[in-house]
Protein backbone atom coordinates (compact mmCIF):
# COMPACT_ATOMS: atom_id res chain seq x y z
CA UNK A 1 0.00 0.00 0.00
CA UNK A 2 2.02 2.96 -1.12
CA UNK A 3 0.30 5.92 -2.60
CA UNK A 4 -3.38 5.51 -1.89
CA UNK A 5 -4.85 8.42 0.04
CA UNK A 6 -3.06 8.49 3.38
CA UNK A 7 -5.19 6.83 6.04
CA UNK A 8 -4.94 7.38 9.78
CA UNK A 9 -2.87 4.81 11.65
CA UNK A 10 -4.51 4.64 15.06
CA UNK A 11 -2.15 4.41 18.02
CA UNK A 12 -2.80 3.03 21.50
CA UNK A 13 -3.46 6.62 22.53
CA UNK A 14 -5.83 7.58 19.73
CA UNK A 15 -7.67 4.29 19.11
CA UNK A 16 -10.81 5.28 21.10
CA UNK A 17 -11.25 8.33 18.86
CA UNK A 18 -11.22 6.30 15.65
CA UNK A 19 -13.29 3.49 17.13
CA UNK A 20 -15.96 6.03 18.19
CA UNK A 21 -16.05 7.50 14.67
CA UNK A 22 -16.66 3.99 13.31
CA UNK A 23 -19.60 3.80 15.68
CA UNK A 24 -20.80 7.21 14.45
CA UNK A 25 -19.90 9.02 17.64
CA UNK A 26 -17.47 11.85 18.27
CA UNK A 27 -15.43 11.37 21.42
CA UNK A 28 -12.73 13.74 22.61
CA UNK A 29 -10.74 13.84 25.80
CA UNK A 30 -11.44 15.92 28.90
CA UNK A 31 -9.09 16.37 31.83
CA UNK A 32 -10.41 15.25 35.22
CA UNK A 33 -7.93 17.51 36.92
CA UNK A 34 -8.60 20.88 35.23
CA UNK A 35 -11.71 20.09 33.11
CA UNK A 36 -9.87 21.25 29.97
CA UNK A 37 -10.80 19.69 26.63
CA UNK A 38 -8.01 18.18 24.57
CA UNK A 39 -7.59 17.52 20.86
CA UNK A 40 -5.72 15.77 19.21
CA UNK A 41 -5.61 12.73 21.51
CA UNK A 42 -2.81 12.62 24.04
CA UNK A 43 -1.91 10.76 27.20
CA UNK A 44 -1.67 14.01 29.13
CA UNK A 45 -3.67 17.20 29.38
CA UNK A 46 -2.39 19.98 27.10
CA UNK A 47 -3.60 22.55 29.67
CA UNK A 48 -2.15 21.17 32.92
CA UNK A 49 -0.12 18.07 31.88
CA UNK A 50 -2.10 15.81 34.24
CA UNK A 51 -2.27 12.18 33.15
CA UNK A 52 -5.95 12.02 33.92
CA UNK A 53 -7.97 12.25 30.73
CA UNK A 54 -11.32 10.62 30.02
CA UNK A 55 -13.04 10.11 26.69
CA UNK A 56 -16.34 11.98 26.48
CA UNK A 57 -18.90 11.86 23.73
CA UNK A 58 -19.71 15.32 22.34
CA UNK A 59 -22.30 16.47 19.79
CA UNK A 60 -19.73 17.71 17.32
CA UNK A 61 -21.52 21.00 16.84
CA UNK A 62 -19.12 23.82 16.22
CA UNK A 63 -18.21 26.73 14.02
CA UNK A 64 -15.99 27.12 10.99
CA UNK A 65 -12.75 28.72 12.24
CA UNK A 66 -11.08 28.98 8.84
CA UNK A 67 -10.94 27.23 5.47
CA UNK A 68 -9.46 27.34 2.03
CA UNK A 69 -10.54 25.99 -1.32
CA UNK A 70 -7.64 24.42 -3.17
CA UNK A 71 -7.26 25.08 -6.88
CA UNK A 72 -4.34 22.66 -7.17
CA UNK A 73 -4.67 19.38 -5.25
CA UNK A 74 -2.44 19.17 -2.18
CA UNK A 75 -1.56 15.63 -3.33
CA UNK A 76 -2.46 13.97 -6.65
CA UNK A 77 -4.63 11.45 -4.79
CA UNK A 78 -7.01 14.21 -3.79
CA UNK A 79 -7.76 15.33 -7.35
CA UNK A 80 -11.16 13.63 -7.08
CA UNK A 81 -12.14 16.10 -4.33
CA UNK A 82 -11.43 19.33 -6.23
CA UNK A 83 -11.71 21.89 -4.98
CA UNK A 84 -10.74 20.45 -1.61
CA UNK A 85 -12.61 22.41 1.06
CA UNK A 86 -9.92 22.19 3.73
CA UNK A 87 -11.26 23.48 7.00
CA UNK A 88 -10.54 24.06 10.66
CA UNK A 89 -13.57 23.55 12.86
CA UNK A 90 -13.78 24.81 16.41
CA UNK A 91 -16.01 22.56 18.50
CA UNK A 92 -18.28 24.00 21.18
CA UNK A 93 -15.71 22.70 23.70
CA UNK A 94 -13.11 25.07 22.20
CA UNK A 95 -10.81 22.52 20.58
CA UNK A 96 -10.01 22.77 16.87
CA UNK A 97 -9.97 19.97 14.34
CA UNK A 98 -8.50 19.83 10.85
CA UNK A 99 -11.09 18.45 8.48
CA UNK A 100 -12.88 19.00 5.18
CA UNK A 101 -16.31 20.50 4.53
CA UNK A 102 -18.68 18.51 2.37
CA UNK A 103 -21.94 19.34 0.64
CA UNK A 104 -21.63 23.11 1.06
CA UNK A 105 -21.58 25.32 -2.05
CA UNK A 106 -18.47 27.48 -2.38
CA UNK A 107 -20.42 30.71 -2.02
CA UNK A 108 -22.18 29.49 1.12
CA UNK A 109 -18.98 28.81 3.06
CA UNK A 110 -18.51 31.53 5.67
CA UNK A 111 -16.05 31.67 8.51
CA UNK A 112 -18.05 31.55 11.72
CA UNK A 113 -20.88 29.48 10.20
CA UNK A 114 -22.39 26.73 12.34
CA UNK A 115 -21.34 23.23 11.32
CA UNK A 116 -22.05 19.68 12.39
CA UNK A 117 -20.24 16.39 11.90
CA UNK A 118 -20.55 13.88 9.10
CA UNK A 119 -19.25 10.38 9.75
CA UNK A 120 -17.80 9.55 6.37
CA UNK A 121 -17.32 5.84 5.70
CA UNK A 122 -14.31 5.83 3.42
CA UNK A 123 -13.70 2.11 3.00
CA UNK A 124 -15.60 -1.13 2.73
CA UNK A 125 -14.26 -2.01 6.16
CA UNK A 126 -16.02 0.94 7.77
CA UNK A 127 -12.99 3.17 8.32
CA UNK A 128 -14.50 6.55 9.15
CA UNK A 129 -13.23 10.09 8.74
CA UNK A 130 -14.75 13.09 10.51
CA UNK A 131 -15.99 15.66 8.07
CA UNK A 132 -18.29 18.60 8.66
CA UNK A 133 -21.20 20.20 6.87
CA UNK A 134 -23.59 23.10 7.29
CA UNK A 135 -26.20 22.71 10.03
CA UNK A 136 -28.85 23.19 7.35
CA UNK A 137 -27.81 19.83 5.88
CA UNK A 138 -28.77 16.44 7.26
CA UNK A 139 -25.29 15.50 8.53
CA UNK A 140 -25.04 12.11 10.20
CA UNK A 141 -23.51 9.28 8.22
CA UNK A 142 -22.19 9.27 4.67
CA UNK A 143 -22.20 5.69 3.44
CA UNK A 144 -19.33 4.17 1.58
CA UNK A 145 -19.88 4.39 -2.13
CA UNK A 146 -18.09 1.74 -4.13
CA UNK A 147 -16.49 3.77 -6.92
CA UNK A 148 -16.64 0.71 -9.18
CA UNK A 149 -20.38 0.27 -8.78
CA UNK A 150 -21.65 2.44 -11.61
CA UNK A 151 -18.88 1.78 -14.13
CA UNK A 152 -19.66 -0.01 -17.38
CA UNK A 153 -18.70 -3.61 -18.05
CA UNK A 154 -17.39 -5.18 -21.26
CA UNK A 155 -18.71 -8.39 -22.84
CA UNK A 156 -16.40 -10.44 -20.60
CA UNK A 157 -18.08 -8.85 -17.58
CA UNK A 158 -14.97 -6.85 -16.68
CA UNK A 159 -15.59 -3.50 -15.07
CA UNK A 160 -14.17 -0.73 -17.28
CA UNK A 161 -11.89 1.52 -15.22
CA UNK A 162 -10.69 4.71 -16.94
CA UNK A 163 -7.07 5.39 -16.05
CA UNK A 164 -8.16 8.91 -15.02
CA UNK A 165 -10.63 7.63 -12.39
CA UNK A 166 -8.33 7.52 -9.38
CA UNK A 167 -11.01 6.60 -6.88
CA UNK A 168 -11.96 3.57 -8.95
CA UNK A 169 -8.32 2.59 -9.47
CA UNK A 170 -7.70 2.69 -5.73
CA UNK A 171 -10.78 0.58 -5.16
CA UNK A 172 -9.18 -2.15 -7.28
CA UNK A 173 -6.44 -2.53 -4.68
CA UNK A 174 -8.80 -4.26 -2.27
CA UNK A 175 -6.43 -7.11 -1.29
CA UNK A 176 -8.76 -9.75 -2.80
CA UNK A 177 -7.39 -12.41 -5.13
CA UNK A 178 -9.04 -13.35 -8.42
CA UNK A 179 -10.47 -16.82 -8.93
CA UNK A 180 -7.99 -19.56 -9.74
CA UNK A 181 -6.83 -20.02 -13.33
CA UNK A 182 -6.95 -23.19 -15.40
CA UNK A 183 -4.67 -26.06 -14.31
CA UNK A 184 -1.56 -27.17 -16.17
CA UNK A 185 0.73 -30.11 -15.55
CA UNK A 186 4.46 -29.58 -15.19
CA UNK A 187 5.89 -32.95 -16.29
CA UNK A 188 9.47 -34.10 -16.80
CA UNK A 189 9.18 -33.57 -20.54
CA UNK A 190 8.38 -29.89 -20.07
CA UNK A 191 11.20 -29.53 -17.54
CA UNK A 192 13.67 -31.17 -19.93
CA UNK A 193 12.57 -28.87 -22.75
CA UNK A 194 13.20 -25.84 -20.52
CA UNK A 195 16.61 -27.26 -19.51
CA UNK A 196 17.55 -27.49 -23.21
CA UNK A 197 16.32 -24.01 -23.93
CA UNK A 198 17.87 -22.26 -20.93
CA UNK A 199 21.04 -24.36 -20.60
CA UNK A 200 20.24 -25.01 -16.94
CA UNK A 201 20.48 -28.82 -16.88
CA UNK A 202 21.32 -29.23 -13.18
CA UNK A 203 20.57 -32.80 -12.04
CA UNK A 204 17.96 -31.62 -9.51
CA UNK A 205 15.77 -30.75 -12.52
CA UNK A 206 16.83 -33.33 -15.12
CA UNK A 207 18.02 -36.57 -13.47
CA UNK A 208 15.04 -38.47 -11.94
CA UNK A 209 17.21 -41.46 -10.93
CA UNK A 210 19.74 -39.42 -8.94
CA UNK A 211 16.95 -37.24 -7.52
CA UNK A 212 15.34 -40.32 -5.95
CA UNK A 213 18.31 -40.64 -3.59
CA UNK A 214 20.03 -37.21 -3.48
CA UNK A 215 17.14 -34.72 -3.77
CA UNK A 216 15.60 -33.48 -0.53
CA UNK A 217 12.27 -33.79 -2.40
CA UNK A 218 13.00 -37.40 -3.54
CA UNK A 219 12.15 -36.34 -7.08
CA UNK A 220 13.16 -33.76 -9.68
CA UNK A 221 11.65 -30.29 -9.41
CA UNK A 222 10.84 -27.65 -12.00
CA UNK A 223 13.09 -24.62 -12.45
CA UNK A 224 11.66 -21.63 -10.59
CA UNK A 225 12.06 -19.54 -13.72
CA UNK A 226 10.12 -22.17 -15.73
CA UNK A 227 7.16 -21.93 -13.38
CA UNK A 228 7.42 -18.16 -13.51
CA UNK A 229 7.10 -18.01 -17.32
CA UNK A 230 4.29 -20.56 -17.32
CA UNK A 231 2.06 -17.74 -16.11
CA UNK A 232 1.53 -17.07 -19.81
CA UNK A 233 -0.32 -20.40 -20.05
CA UNK A 234 -2.53 -19.58 -17.12
CA UNK A 235 -5.72 -17.81 -18.00
CA UNK A 236 -6.67 -15.52 -15.16
CA UNK A 237 -9.94 -13.66 -15.35
CA UNK A 238 -9.18 -10.16 -14.11
CA UNK A 239 -12.42 -8.59 -12.90
CA UNK A 240 -11.45 -5.25 -14.46
CA UNK A 241 -9.98 -3.69 -17.56
CA UNK A 242 -8.06 -0.40 -17.47
CA UNK A 243 -9.13 1.90 -20.30
CA UNK A 244 -8.35 5.33 -21.67
CA UNK A 245 -4.53 5.19 -21.66
CA UNK A 246 -2.15 6.01 -24.49
CA UNK A 247 0.53 3.41 -23.75
CA UNK A 248 0.89 0.44 -21.43
CA UNK A 249 4.44 -0.54 -20.46
CA UNK A 250 5.58 -3.70 -18.68
CA UNK A 251 7.88 -2.11 -16.14
CA UNK A 252 9.30 -5.37 -14.79
CA UNK A 253 8.98 -6.87 -11.37
CA UNK A 254 9.32 -5.43 -7.88
CA UNK A 255 9.68 -8.85 -6.25
CA UNK A 256 10.21 -12.38 -7.51
CA UNK A 257 10.27 -15.29 -5.05
CA UNK A 258 10.09 -19.07 -5.35
CA UNK A 259 8.98 -20.10 -1.84
CA UNK A 260 7.80 -23.69 -2.55
CA UNK A 261 9.16 -26.29 -5.01
CA UNK A 262 7.17 -27.71 -7.93
CA UNK A 263 7.98 -31.46 -8.09
CA UNK A 264 7.91 -32.99 -11.58
CA UNK A 265 4.41 -34.11 -12.46
CA UNK A 266 2.71 -31.44 -10.32
CA UNK A 267 -0.38 -29.62 -11.42
CA UNK A 268 -0.17 -25.86 -10.96
CA UNK A 269 -2.61 -22.98 -11.09
CA UNK A 270 -2.43 -19.27 -10.38
CA UNK A 271 -4.28 -16.22 -9.24
CA UNK A 272 -3.54 -12.54 -8.87
CA UNK A 273 -4.54 -9.41 -6.99
CA UNK A 274 -3.97 -5.70 -7.37
CA UNK A 275 -1.37 -4.96 -4.76
CA UNK A 276 -0.87 -1.25 -5.28
CA UNK A 277 -1.84 1.74 -7.38
CA UNK A 278 0.41 4.74 -7.40
CA UNK A 279 0.31 7.98 -9.29
CA UNK A 280 3.34 10.00 -10.30
CA UNK A 281 4.54 12.23 -13.10
CA UNK A 282 5.37 9.02 -14.97
CA UNK A 283 1.73 7.96 -15.04
CA UNK A 284 -0.38 5.44 -13.20
CA UNK A 285 1.53 2.43 -11.92
CA UNK A 286 -0.38 -0.77 -11.24
CA UNK A 287 1.32 -3.52 -9.23
CA UNK A 288 -0.18 -6.98 -9.72
CA UNK A 289 0.84 -9.70 -7.32
CA UNK A 290 0.88 -12.95 -9.32
CA UNK A 291 0.91 -16.17 -7.29
CA UNK A 292 1.40 -19.65 -8.75
CA UNK A 293 0.71 -22.64 -6.51
CA UNK A 294 0.93 -26.40 -6.78
CA UNK A 295 -2.66 -27.58 -6.53
CA UNK A 296 -3.76 -27.81 -2.89
CA UNK A 297 -0.54 -26.30 -1.57
CA UNK A 298 -1.22 -23.11 0.43
CA UNK A 299 2.37 -21.97 0.00
CA UNK A 300 2.96 -20.35 -3.37
CA UNK A 301 5.68 -21.63 -5.69
CA UNK A 302 6.01 -18.24 -7.39
CA UNK A 303 5.29 -14.76 -6.07
CA UNK A 304 5.81 -12.13 -8.74
CA UNK A 305 4.94 -8.45 -8.21
CA UNK A 306 4.46 -7.28 -11.77
CA UNK A 307 4.54 -3.57 -12.42
CA UNK A 308 2.56 -2.09 -15.30
CA UNK A 309 2.74 1.58 -16.20
CA UNK A 310 -0.16 3.31 -17.95
CA UNK A 311 0.17 6.75 -19.44
Q: Give the interface with another protein as residue ranges (CB under 8 A).
A: 5-11, 14, 40, 65-75, 78, 81, 84, 86, 88, 96-100, 110-112, 129, 131, 280-281
Task: Give the side-chain half-sphere CA count within 13 A for 241.
Answer: 12
Least distance (Å) between residue 233 CB and another protein: 34
User: Diameter of the chain by CA atoms?
Assistant: 84
Nearer to another protein, 74 or 183 (CB): 74
Cα separation values, 37 from 43, 58, 233, Å = 13, 11, 62
Nearer to another protein, 131 or 269 (CB): 131
Classify each residue of 81-100 as buried b or exposed e, where b means 16 or more C-beta atoms within 10 Å of its C-beta.
Answer: beebbbbbbbbebebebebb
List of residues 6+ apart from 225 with CB closer than 8 A: 198, 200
Least distance (Å) between residue 222 CB and another protein: 33
Least distance (Å) between residue 282 CB and another protein: 9
Nearer to another protein, 69 or 229 (CB): 69
Assess contact for 277 and 295: CB atoms under 8 A: no
Least distance (Å) between residue 255 CB and another protein: 16
Nearer to another protein, 15 or 138 (CB): 15
Assess contact for 310 and 242: CB atoms under 8 A: yes
Least distance (Å) between residue 252 CB and another protein: 14
Nearer to another protein, 11 or 33 (CB): 11
Cα separation, 147 vs 136, in Å, equals 27
Nearer to another protein, 94 or 265 (CB): 94
List of residues 6+ apart from 136 with CB closer than 8 A: none
Least distance (Å) between residue 303 CB and another protein: 23
Amino acid sequence: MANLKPMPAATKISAPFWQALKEEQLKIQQCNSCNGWVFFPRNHCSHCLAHDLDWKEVSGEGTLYSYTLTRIPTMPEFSDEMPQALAVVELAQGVRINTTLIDVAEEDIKIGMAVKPVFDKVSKDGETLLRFTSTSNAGGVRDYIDPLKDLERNDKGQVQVPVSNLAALYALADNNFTDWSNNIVVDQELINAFADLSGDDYWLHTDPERAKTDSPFKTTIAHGSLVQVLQSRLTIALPFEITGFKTMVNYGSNRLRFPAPVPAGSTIHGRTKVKDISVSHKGVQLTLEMNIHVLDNDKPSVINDLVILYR
